[in-house]
């Protein structure tokens, strides 16, 4: 039960305290969500360990239950254990309230087509960070033989038999790649995805499905062609599995930027090994020091020498392994506390700078011109009541609050609870004066 479920929609922070200590990193939201959807394909009981205790995961579990699956969430120290039994799955219509609440529900389409041959779902719609169309999802499913009718705001997809195809994605969409993989696992014949997304969460989905008996060759995802090959198998060949969810690279990156901004020395335990390179590269270029332990499972950031923290001239967000769009807002907040100017180009989403107006209210010198934000750091931030408009922007406001003079209250902090399991507890452990409420 996350604190946000209790309706505590604000976070209170007393700023200007550096951070120190060590905290473990939670399970990955963006790895767990598609793997939960993939459980729909497996006629039996699957067990996922290390799932984060966040509202988006609860929403996906409710969605699975609405199809007739039995879902149990058992809290455990190292993240929740979720058991999914899909033997009685029979409902192909997905409730609008869950799909509208969490647009990544759309990856259920591929799994439902693979399992039931039919799915009825409302358009997930855009959100504050952009339009977020699903044309590439529908393109891929149609290439696999699904018939798709658009009825008002609803999509009705039906597939008598899914057939393997060659699908060349014009853009390596994470969600579209996941939907195509899920529908192709039990299709007749072989599917080749070209220009597939190669984020770690895609690889984890392939590993999970292969452990359940699927035949996916994902090594080609790292080639320039970005090639993932799925050899279709009979549904009955898929079997029950248990799987450990990897930890969350975006949550780890958020805490690294929080320490860069507030100052201090922090160690993050149980990080996803090898997935933070682009983030650590930027943080060291901004003047902090980074050290990994022997097996790469822990990272320590040293950001005590404040006069050394500087902005680098230009960063753009790009697909993995480049700098991730999900850390663009936390970077903006950290850049406010560094000397000099940073230009950030957002290349993935159409409007992911909404948080800038809140940072400006705290006194930050940030301007936005279309998809380019320009931050001039070094100014003192003032504590204010600010509004989280979405998940990662909300986390960025917490970072700004850690650095501002006086008290900052982040309202609508329920958005943050969608992806951060213990942001208040974690930062408290690191010495921040932070609590729920206002
Ligand atoms: C996933 O979203 C993540 N969500 C996002 O994280 C992340 O920002 C994004 O990938 C990029 O890495 C989950 O994994 C649940 P995309 P997704 O399809 O799949 C356009 C967070 O904070 N596009 O790669 O929606 C789209 O509009 C969230 O955890 C189309 O045009 O990302 C966007 O501009 C936010 N047509 C771009 O591609 C399509 O059919 C990237 O979208 C699909 C996407």
Q: Whose CA is nearest to atom 6 of ligand 1?
A: 326
pLDDT, position 127: 78
Using the atom order of ligand 1, give the atom closest to the CA of residue 104: 15
Beta strands in 238-393 (DSSP E): 242-244, 264-269, 289-292, 299-302, 314-316, 340-345, 365-369, 372-377, 385-387
Find out whether the beta carbon of 198 lies less than 6 Å from any atom of ligand 1: no
| Ranges of the chain with pLDDT below 50 | 1-7
Of residues 294, 375, 372, 386, the one with CA closest to residue 12: 386
Q: Which of 132, 205, 420 to mutate to test the pocket of ligand 1 (most atoms within 8 A of CB)?
A: 132
CA of 86 to the centre of ligand 1 (A): 27
CA of 173 to the centre of ligand 1 (A): 6
Instruction: Record the pTM.
Output: 0.97
Instruction: Decide if 280 is catalytic.
Output: no
pLDDT, position 6: 38
pLDDT, position 8: 54
Of residues 28, 32, 29, 30, the one with CA closest to residue 208: 32
Report the alpha-carbon angle 33-181-210, nearest 5. Answer: 80
What does the alpha-carbon distance between residue 246 and residue 104 come to, in Å, rounded to a whole number? Answer: 18
pLDDT, position 434: 98
pLDDT, position 415: 94
Find out whether the beta carbon of 325 lies less than 6 Å from any atom of ligand 1: yes
Find out whether the beta carbon of 174 lies less than 6 Å from any atom of ligand 1: yes
pLDDT, position 76: 81
Give the distance from CA 130 to its chain's centroid: 15
Q: Which residues contact 413 (CB under 8 A, 6 or more apart)?
A: 4, 8, 9, 10, 11, 388, 394, 436
CA dihedral (274, 374, 413, 410) in degrees, to 10, reads 130
* Buried b or exposed e, range 71-92, using 16+ CB within 10 angstroms: bebeeeeebbbbebbbeebebb
Of residues 367, 373, 432, the one with CA closest to residue 403: 432
Of 46, 127, 206, 403, which residue is the catalytic one?
A: 127
pLDDT, position 328: 98
Using the atom order of ligand 1, give the atom closest to the CA of residue 138: 40
Q: Please, are residues 147 and 117 in contact by the beta-carbon 8 Å criterion?
A: no
Find out whether the beta carbon of 327 lies less than 6 Å from any atom of ligand 1: no
Q: Whose CA is nearest to atom 32 of ligand 1?
A: 174
């Amino acid at each position: 039960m996350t604190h946000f479920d209790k309706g505590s929609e604000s976070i209170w922070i007393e700023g200007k305290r550096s951070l120190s200590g060590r905290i473990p990193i939670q399970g990955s939201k963006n790895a767990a969500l598609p793997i939960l959807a993939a459980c729909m394909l497996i006629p039996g009981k699957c067990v996922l360990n290390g799932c984060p205790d966040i509202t988006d995961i609860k929403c996906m579990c409710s969605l699975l239950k609405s199809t007739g699956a039995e879902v149990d969430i058992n809290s455990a120290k190292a993240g929740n254990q979720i058991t999914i039994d899909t033997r009685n799955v029979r409902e192909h219509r997905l409730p609008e309230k869950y799909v509208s609440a969490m647009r990544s529900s759309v990856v259920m389409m591929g799994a439902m087509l693979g399992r039931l041959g039919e799915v009825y779902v409302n358009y997930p719609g855009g959100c504050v960070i952009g339009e977020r169309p699903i044309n590439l999802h529908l393109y891929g499913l149609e290439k696999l033989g699904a018939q798709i009718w658009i009825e008002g705001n609803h999509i009705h997809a039906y597939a008598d038999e899914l057939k393997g195809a060659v699908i060349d994605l014009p853009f390596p969409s994470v969600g579209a790649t996941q939907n195509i993989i899920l529908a192709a696992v039990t299709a007749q014949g072989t599917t080749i995805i070209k220009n597939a997304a190669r984020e770690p969460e895609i690889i984890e989905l392939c590993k999970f499905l292969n452990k359940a008996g699927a035949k996916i060759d994902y090594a080609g995802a790292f080639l320039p062609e970005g090639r993932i090959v799925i050899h279709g198998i009979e549904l009955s060949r898929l079997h029950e599995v248990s799987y450990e969810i990897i930890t969350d690279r975006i949550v780890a990156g958020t805490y690294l930027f929080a320490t860069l901004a507030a100052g201090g020395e922090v160690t993050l335990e149980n990080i996803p090994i090898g997935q933070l390179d682009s983030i650590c590269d930027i943080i060291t270029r901004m003047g902090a020091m980074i050290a990994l332990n022997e097996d790469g499972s822990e990272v320590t950031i040293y950001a005590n020498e404040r006069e050394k923290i500087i902005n680098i001239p230009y960063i753009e967000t790009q697909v993995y392994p480049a700098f991730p769009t999900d850390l663009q807002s936390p970077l903006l907040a950290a850049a406010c506390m560094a000397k000099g100017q940073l230009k950030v180009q957002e290349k993935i989403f159409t409007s992911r700078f909404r948080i800038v107006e809140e940072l400006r209210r705290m006194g930050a010198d940030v301007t936005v011109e279309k998809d380019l934000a320009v931050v001039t750091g070094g100014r003192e931030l003032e504590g204010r009541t600010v509004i989280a408009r979405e998940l990662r922007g909300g986390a960025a406001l917490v970072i700004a609050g850690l650095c501002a003079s006086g008290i900052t209250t982040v309202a609508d902090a329920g958005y943050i609870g969608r992806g951060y399991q213990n942001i208040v507890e974690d930062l408290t452990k690191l010495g921040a004066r932070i609590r729920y409420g206002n």
